[in-house]
Structure 1
Amino acid sequence: MSLFMKRNKPGVVFNTQILWRLNSTVAENKDEEEFRVLDILKKKDSRQKRIVRRAEVAPDRAEKMPTDQNWGNVWPGPRSFHPSSVPLPIRQGYVPKGQVPPGKKANAELMKIPNFLHLTPPVIKRQCEAIRKFCTEWPKLLNSEEAIDKHYPVEIITSDYCHASPTIRNPMARVVTLRIKLANLDLDKHAKDKFLRLVGDRYDEKTDLVTLTADRCPLRKQNLDYVNYLLTAAYHEAWTVEEWEKEKMEDDMEYYVWDNNQSKRNLIDWYHRVSGTEQVLSDEEYRNYDISSIPHAKEYKEAVSNLFNEGESEETIEKYGGTVRKLLGLPERTV
């Protein structure tokens, strides 16, 4: 295709000049001029349809596992459940009526909960054998509960929890409980009385155990330090004698002490009078007098103390009456 321009000059009829030649993309011969047709509606090229070929899926790994394999190598540590690694027909989930529980494939319930597939007995045994060289032999003298209580009187109780949650921390795992027998504490009469008043209802008279529990701190280590501090502070405070305690009289006592009261003197005087060995004793001699030589004196002491400290009840009155009859040599009461 060519572009022509016509110019007229004086004395010349016309002058024609070819300014630009456009080559056609359709013409095969460059010398031959051809008009190129504008194709507005382009026809779609006929393309060959794509054939989707599915690749062959390899069999599941669980189906190819041998029965004598080393399970510790397959599942060496804690991890989420993976169905292709477990050659067991495990089922879990909601069971509709008339149907079986969902299988292990695409089972979200099995992936929610923690599993202990890495803690099989052979694996535990192998791990114990590996750490045996770092352990020490159990002491031969600690062969009974009595020996353990004697050498290790303080008992620390904690709890570990395993649950399905976004966090591995359980709020109850921080709770620490300390238990110790009151008899294992070196306390005299004054210190023991003060210590029991400090611990309050944390002391169980039947088992002779003092129980201290701490849960106010966010970490277990902090609560452990806190219960140890409580025991130490209560022990040293029990041995502290204030100035006002030295002025404390018998009438100021919160409980009845039989050895310091008139009941003991009456018993001693009665026994000497009955046995024909009357004598005059001082206050200090009355307090230090050994009543083990008087028959049924210890039962009488315990009955009178319970009557005053625990109050009058059917049990305390009946026990007091029985010990008095034994002390006086009277027959038992018949109902």
Structure 2
Amino acid sequence: MNVILQYYRSLGTARTLNLRIWRLNSTSADVATTTKGDEEEEFRVLDILKSRQRTKKKVTRRNDVQPDRADRMSIDQKWGNVWPGPKTFHPSSVPLPLRQGYVPKGHVPPGKKANAELMKIPNFLHLTPPVVKAQCEALKQFCTEWPSLLNSEEAIENHYPVETITSDYCHAGPTIRNPLARIATLRVKLSTLNLNKHAQDKFIRLVGERYDEETDLVTITADRCPLRQQNLDYVNYLLTACYHESWNVEDWEHDKTEEDMEYYDWDKNASKKSLVQWHLRATNMPNDLSDMDYVEYDISKIPNGEEYKNAVSSLMNNGESEETLKNYGAAVRKLLGLPEAKI
């Protein structure tokens, strides 16, 4: 039930108030207006029995999820088209159950999905045997035939005595340049340098421990420069400098005596002079040689003379051992024509 009040005011000598009241029996409210001077207001209608509208929940329909690309790949596809070059690992492009990562003992390493470890390291998935074969076939037109004269290791060492060794590394880091890749090594046989006896001895003393007497190899390694090419130039410079320096003969080297020698030189020692004198007496030849003639005498004219020279030099330079003494005894018996010793 709504009650509407309406009143009037009149200005005059006597103030009167007229009040009118209407009672309306109605379920709907009427709109009443009140006049205040020249203004009118409209009351808002209050609907107590307002029915609530029920909102329907929106049901979202999910589209059908397509299977992973790795599961839809054909087994006879060309892998070179899927992974043509080096790139970051992508799990949906690799149909392999790869795993990577550290896990506690007894657990399985993480799979390829959402695996940051597989994306950190470089991969060689683009270098499969069929792809490598196809690339080699494409490069054949730019290649030349292997020289027919270089058909053995001996021929290669004869024509290319200097060997250069470098290393390439593939690692995960902020830069693709590995510090170990700058190291350069040069290796050459001492016998291929065409040095005389004085130059060879001086060269060995210059290179020091870089010379291996058993293999006759001189190995020079450089890693002080930041770039590989700089280290390659440096090792070539060291080899060239040692080679030319070994040929230089200082003035004081002419004054060296037998006691000043760093090694036993059989040609300049009394052992050679005694052997030459014995040979001249045994063959009834005149002995009118000077000291320089004894030094320059060709030992190959004496039977088994070279073997005796090597045995004595090895004994004096390497020291006494069972092997050096055995070789020395066998060389003396051959030189004097005696039968071999029976053990």
- Establish whether TM, by shorter chain, passes 0.5: yes
Report the Cα offset of residue 32 of structure 1: 5.1
Look up the match of 1:81.
Answer: 89
Give 1:142-153 correspondences, 5 Å limit. 142-153=150-161
Given the alignment of the two structures, is residue 292 of structure 1 paired with residue 333 of structure 2, yes or no? no
Residue 211 of structure 1 aligns to which amino acid in structure 2?
T
Contact 1:159 1:175 survives alignment (8 Å): yes
Question: 1:238 matched to which residue of 2?
Answer: 246
For 1:33, what is the secondary structure of its paired residue? strand
Residue identity over aligned pairs, in percent, reads 69
SS at match of 2:289: coil
**Partner residue in 2 for 1:110:** 118
**Aligned match of 1:283:** 291
State which drifts further: 201-210 or 227-236.
201-210
Change (3 A) 1:201 1:68: same
Indicate yes or no: 2:242 matched with 1:263: no
Alignment partners' CA distance in 2, 1:133 and 1:267: 65
What corresponds to 1:307 in structure 2? 315
CA deviation profile, 1:21-71 (whole Å, cap 9, x unmatched):
xxxxxx899x8522569xxxxxx9986655444343222112222222221
* TM-score (norm. length: structure 2): 0.78
Point out the structure with max Rg over C-alpha. 2
Contact kept in structure 1, 2:32 and 2:43, CA below 8 Å: no
Does 2:206 correspond to 1:198?
yes
What secondary structure is seen at the aligned counterpart in 1 of 2:219?
strand
Q: Is the deviation greater in 283-292 or in 295-304?
A: 283-292
Query: Is the 1:179–1:211 contact (alpha carbons within 8 Å) kept by the matching residues of 2?
Result: yes
Structure 1 residue 67 and structure 2 residue 75: aligned?
A: yes
**Counterpart in 2 of 1:124?**
132
Distance 2:103 2:263 in 1: 65
Relative to structure 1, is the Cα distance of residues 155 and 97 closer, same or farther in structure 2, using a 3 angstrom cutoff? closer
Q: Residues 180-226 of structure 1, C-alpha deviation per residue, up to 9 Å, x if partnerless?
A: 11122132222212111101111122222111011122221111111
Segments of structure 2 that go 5 or more residues without pairing to the other structure are 1-12, 15-30, 34-38, 46-51
| SS of the residue 1:279 aligns to | coil
Distance 1:124 1:241, change over 3 A: same
SS of corresponding position for 2:41: coil
State the Cα distance separating 1:334 from its structure 2 match: 4.2
Q: Which amino acid aligns with 2:136?
A: C
Contact 1:176–1:214, Cα closer than 8 Å, also in 2: yes
Q: 2: distance between equivalents of 1:207 and 1:84?
A: 54
Q: Shift of the alpha carbon at 1:286?
A: 1.6
Relative to structure 1, the CA distance from residue 324 to residue 131 in structure 2 (aligned partners, 3 Å threshold; closer, same or farther) is same
Q: Write the letter of the residue equivalent to 2:115.
A: N
1:269 touches 1:278 (CA, 8 Å); kept in 2? no
Verify the 8 A CA contact 2:99 2:110 in the aligned structure 1. Answer: yes
Residue 51 to residue 286, structure 1, CA distance change in 2 (3 Å): same
- Which whole-Å CA distance do the structure 2 matches of 1:112 and 1:213 have between them? 33
Cα distance in structure 2, aligned partners of 1:28 and 1:266: 154
Is the CA contact (8 Å cut-off) linking 2:32 and 2:42 kept in structure 1? Answer: no
Q: Secondary structure at the match of 2:76?
A: coil
Aligned residue for 1:326, secondary structure, equals: helix
1:9-88 maps to which residues of 2 (within 5 A)? 33-35=41-43, 49=57, 51-88=59-96
Q: How many aligned positions are there?
A: 309
* 1:176 to partner: Cα distance: 0.9
- Counterpart position of 2:20: none
**Aligned AA for 2:219?**
T
2:247 & 2:105 partners in 1: Cα distance?
Answer: 70
Q: Do structure 1's residue 137 and structure 2's residue 145 form an aligned pair?
A: yes
Does residue 1:188 correspond to 2:196, yes or no?
A: yes
State the secondary structure of the residue aligned to 1:235.
Answer: helix
What do you get for the CA RMSD once the two structures are aligned?
3.3
Give the AA of the match of 2:116.
Answer: A
Identify which of 139, 159, 168 aligns with 2:167. Answer: 159
Inter-partner Cα distance in structure 1 for 2:156 and 2:112: 48
CA separation of 1:107 and 1:300: change in aligned 2, threshold 3 A: same
State how far apart, in whole Å, the 2-side matches of 1:232 and 1:98 are.
Answer: 59
Q: Residue 207 of structure 2 aligns to which amino acid in structure 1?
A: V
Question: For residue 16 of structure 1, what is the aligned residue in structure 2?
Answer: none
**What per-residue deviation string (whole Å, max 9, x for no partner) do you get for residues 241-272 of structure 1?**
22222333333221111111111111111122
Call closer, same or farther: CA 1:253–1:50 in 2, change over 3 Å: same
Gaps of 5+ in 1: 1-11, 14-26, 38-43
